């Protein structure tokens, strides 16, 4: 497969006239840009006439395709025609066959390593510097839980902390219970259980929580607090810390006693968090997680290329940028191993892909199980096409490092943080990896938000940005209509990241939209 070109989409005409977008000169399909799609007979400035109606974001054949011919988008074979498709036909998932995923044992390694991107100096944000050198973009008290059993109690306590304590600590932004469904009824010693366990442990250490770790435990659960602390990743800084409140402890007589205990513990941490002050930090201290969800055919044309441009800017400024979502890079893994900075990075990429292939195989599916009805309605015929549009979030630089699901990332540069593509699972694992900013692109539209880290949402289409004007932070749809370039939106996103990192609220924060943490547990449940 060839490299995806980050070419500026070619706007053929003014937006009100029939308009299609091609990604590469070798492509034999393009997508219809017009809101609402186009009817049969619509003629483009190139002379191409639609032989049938084509919805917005869906593909039109630019040339006569014979049965078995490759269908090419992003200069990559995204499928093979299942029947003859004359020029001007609607090319959708029903008329193309998906190609096989690249074999993992014959990939190009470091064959197209891009030159290091030139440095970008002078950009800063106002953040909370932590003792370990990391920087928070928010000042949050997070209460780690070891098991779902304590959730109701923690929720009750968080409400009281917010009502009664938080007003006295005005520098603290929020109090968040890190609730999840793991902790008991699981094969805790299974090899793959290390993934959910290290995820919980590393989320507690997210830079936005200022190193103030407190844990609420039930007492009899499988995930004993010692599995989080004893492993050494949650450092014991002072005697008795991290604080653990155990609900089954004999000292607790009655519900009020448990709540008092959580509140007293919380207050000690609130006092210290309240002393944190924002200070000017270089953009190099940003750790940004890139993700897409509710994707359509515009994701890979507008929003994701703009994210890719911002990724390059961030990497040039010395920041850490993560891209993830294994099933959405699997079909372009040859591009990534070719871009790996070192053979070790390429090998680590392959290792993550192979592990995930096996994981999917156990469930008797493959990466094609990724695509949703909404993706297809939005014009994405299959996972190959979706992956080509997803990978462009990684920009154009060399890939500097790879991390496994739930591992903490300490390296700078462009990192592949392996996660499932499911939005909440990916977001949860990126939190564990240590992001202090999250960028999320969407075409179909999802109101996604996290309590733990600010989420900036980027719309792929003008129509979504218009309808969801108070949910989308950046509109990349203007790229499709020629009103803005990928570079324009990339810079806008970069500046938005710096502003939100400094305290400006994203729309998800404004409305307090908070999705649940969802742990990735590939190990058996008992």
Question: Toward Ca ion, which CB reaches closer, 196 or 420?
Answer: 420
Q: Kindly tell me which residue out of 423, 452, 473, 492 binds Ca ion, with binding defined by CB under 5 A.
A: 423
Of 83-91, 265-273, 416-424, 457-465, which segment contacts Ca ion by CB under 5 A?
416-424
- Return d(Cα 11, Cα 316) in angstroms, integer: 29
Contact 137, 174 (CB under 8 A): no
Question: Toward Ca ion, which CB reaches closer, 274 or 368?
Answer: 368
Question: Toward Ca ion, which CB reaches closer, 147 or 297?
Answer: 297
- Return d(Cα 391, Cα 98) in angstroms, integer: 18
| Residue 351 beta carbon to Ca ion: minimum distance, rounded to whole angstroms | 22
Question: Toward Ca ion, which CB reaches closer, 130 or 295?
Answer: 295
Instruction: Indicate whether 389 belongs to the interface with Ca ion (CB under 5 A).
Output: no
Instruction: Indicate whether 290 belongs to the interface with Ca ion (CB under 5 A).
Output: no
Residues 6+ away with beta carbon under 8 Å from 143: 154, 157, 158, 175, 176, 177, 178, 214, 215, 216, 262, 266
Q: Kindly tell me which residue out of 107, 157, 326, 421 binds Ca ion, with binding defined by CB under 5 A.
A: 421
Cα–Cα separations (whole angstroms), residue 256 to 141, 247, 299: 21, 11, 50
| Residue 494 beta carbon to Ca ion: minimum distance, rounded to whole angstroms | 21
| Residue 290 beta carbon to Ca ion: minimum distance, rounded to whole angstroms | 10
| Residue 421 beta carbon to Ca ion: minimum distance, rounded to whole angstroms | 5
| Residue 292 beta carbon to Ca ion: minimum distance, rounded to whole angstroms | 6
Q: Which two tokens stand for residue 213?
A: 């770790």
**Total binding residues toward Ca ion, as defined by CB under 5 A:** 4
Of 111-119, 145-153, 196-204, 425-433, which segment contacts Ca ion by CB under 5 A?
425-433
Of 17-25, 147-155, 241-249, 287-295, which segment contacts Ca ion by CB under 5 A?
287-295
Instruction: Indicate whether 296 belongs to the interface with Ca ion (CB under 5 A).
Output: no
Of 108-116, 235-243, 423-431, 465-473, which segment contacts Ca ion by CB under 5 A?
423-431
Question: Toward Ca ion, which CB reaches closer, 21 or 329?
Answer: 329
Site for Ca ion in 502-521 (CB under 5 A): none
Question: Toward Ca ion, which CB reaches closer, 320 or 430?
Answer: 430
Question: Toward Ca ion, which CB reaches closer, 145 or 506?
Answer: 506
Return the SS3 of 202. Answer: helix
Question: Toward Ca ion, which CB reaches closer, 56 or 299?
Answer: 299
Question: Toward Ca ion, which CB reaches closer, 421 or 432?
Answer: 421
Q: Kindly tell me which residue out of 79, 177, 196, 293 binds Ca ion, with binding defined by CB under 5 A.
A: 293
Instruction: Indicate whether 212 belongs to the interface with Ca ion (CB under 5 A).
Output: no
Secondary structure of the chain: what % helix, strand, coil (to 5)? 35, 20, 50
Cα–Cα separations (whole angstroms), residue 120 to 283, 313, 319, 460, 511: 9, 7, 10, 27, 34
- Return d(Cα 176, Cα 154) in angstroms, integer: 9
- Return d(Cα 434, Cα 289) in angstroms, integer: 9
User: First CA to last CA across the chain, in angstroms?
Assistant: 43
Contact 418, 326 (CB under 8 A): yes
Helices (H), 373-506: 373-377, 383-391, 423-433, 462-467, 486-501
- Return d(Cα 194, Cα 6) in angstroms, integer: 38
Instruction: Indicate whether 420 belongs to the interface with Ca ion (CB under 5 A).
Output: no
Q: Which two tokens stand for residue 134?
A: 């990391």
Return the SS3 of 401. Answer: strand
List strand residue ranges (DSSP E) for 293-347, in order: 320-323
Instruction: Give residue for tokens 């659960």.
Output: 221
Instruction: Indicate whether 417 belongs to the interface with Ca ion (CB under 5 A).
Output: no
Q: Which two tokens stand for residue 167?
A: 């007003």
Of 71-79, 278-286, 292-300, 406-414, which segment contacts Ca ion by CB under 5 A?
292-300
Question: Toward Ca ion, which CB reaches closer, 423 or 473?
Answer: 423
Total Cβ atoms within 10 A of residue 95: 21
| Residue 488 beta carbon to Ca ion: minimum distance, rounded to whole angstroms | 25
Q: Which residue is nearest to Ca ion (CB)?
A: 293
| Residue 448 beta carbon to Ca ion: minimum distance, rounded to whole angstroms | 9
- Residues in the site for Ca ion, rule: CB under 5 A? 293, 421, 423, 426
């Amino acid at each position: 497969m060839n490299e995806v070109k980050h070419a500026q989409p070619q706007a053929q005409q003014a937006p009100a006239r029939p308009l299609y977008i091609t990604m590469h000169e070798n492509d034999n399909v393009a997508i219809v840009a017009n809101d609402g799609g186009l009817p049969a007979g619509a003629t483009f400035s190139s002379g191409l006439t639609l032989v049938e109606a084509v919805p917005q974001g869906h593909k039109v054949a630019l040339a006569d395709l014979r049965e078995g011919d490759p269908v090419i988008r992003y200069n990559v074979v995204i499928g093979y025609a299942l029947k003859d498709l004359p020029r001007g036909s609607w090319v959708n998932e029903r008329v193309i066959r998906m190609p096989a995923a690249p074999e993992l044992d014959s990939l190009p390694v470091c064959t197209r390593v891009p030159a290091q991107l030139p440095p970008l100096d002078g950009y800063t944000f106002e953040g909370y510097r932590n003792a370990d050198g990391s920087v928070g973009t928010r000042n949050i008290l997070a209460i780690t839980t070891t098991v779902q059993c304590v959730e109701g109690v923690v929720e009750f306590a968080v409400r009281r902390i917010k009502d009664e304590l938080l007003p006295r600590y005005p520098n603290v932004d929020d109090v968040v219970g890190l609730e999840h469904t793991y902790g008991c009824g699981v094969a805790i010693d299974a090899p793959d259980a290390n993934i959910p366990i290290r995820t919980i442990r590393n989320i507690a250490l997210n830079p936005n929580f200022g190193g103030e770790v407190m844990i609420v435990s039930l007492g009899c659960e499988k995930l004993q607090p010692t599995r989080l602390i004893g492993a050494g990743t949650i450092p014991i800084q002072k005697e008795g810390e991290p604080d653990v409140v155990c609900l089954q402890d004999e000292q607790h007589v009655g519900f009020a006693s448990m709540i008092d205990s959580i509140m007293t513990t919380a207050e000690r941490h609130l006092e210290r968090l309240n002393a944190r002050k924002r200070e000017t930090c270089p953009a190099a201290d940003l750790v940004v997680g890139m993700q897409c969800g509710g994707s359509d055919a515009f994701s890979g044309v507008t929003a994701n290329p703009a994210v890719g441009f911002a990724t390059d800017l961030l990497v040039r400024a010395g920041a850490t940028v993560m891209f993830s979502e294994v099933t959405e890079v699997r079909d372009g893994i040859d591009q990534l191993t070719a871009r790996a900075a070192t053979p070790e990075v390429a090998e680590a990429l392959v290792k993550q892909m192979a592990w995930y292939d096996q994981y999917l195989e156990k469930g008797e599916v493959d990466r094609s199980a990724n695509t949703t009805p909404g993706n297809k309605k939005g014009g994405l015929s299959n996972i190959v096409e979706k992956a080509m549009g997803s990978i462009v979030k990684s920009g154009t630089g060399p890939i500097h490092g790879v991390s496994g699901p739930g591992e903490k990332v300490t390296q700078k540069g462009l990192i592949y943080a392996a996660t499932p593509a499911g939005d909440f699972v990916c977001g949860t694992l990126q939190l564990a990896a240590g992001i202090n900013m999250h960028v999320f692109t969407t075409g179909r539209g999802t109101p996604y938000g996290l309590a733990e880290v600010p989420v900036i949402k980027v719309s792929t289409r003008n129509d979504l940005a218009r309808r969801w004007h108070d949910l989308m932070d950046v509109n990349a749809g203007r790229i499709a209509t020629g009103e803005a370039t990928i570079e324009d939106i990339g810079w806008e996103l970069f500046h938005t990241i710096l502003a939100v990192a400094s305290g400006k609220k994203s729309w998800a924060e404004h409305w307090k939209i908070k999705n649940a943490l969802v742990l990735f547990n590939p190990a058996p449940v008992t």
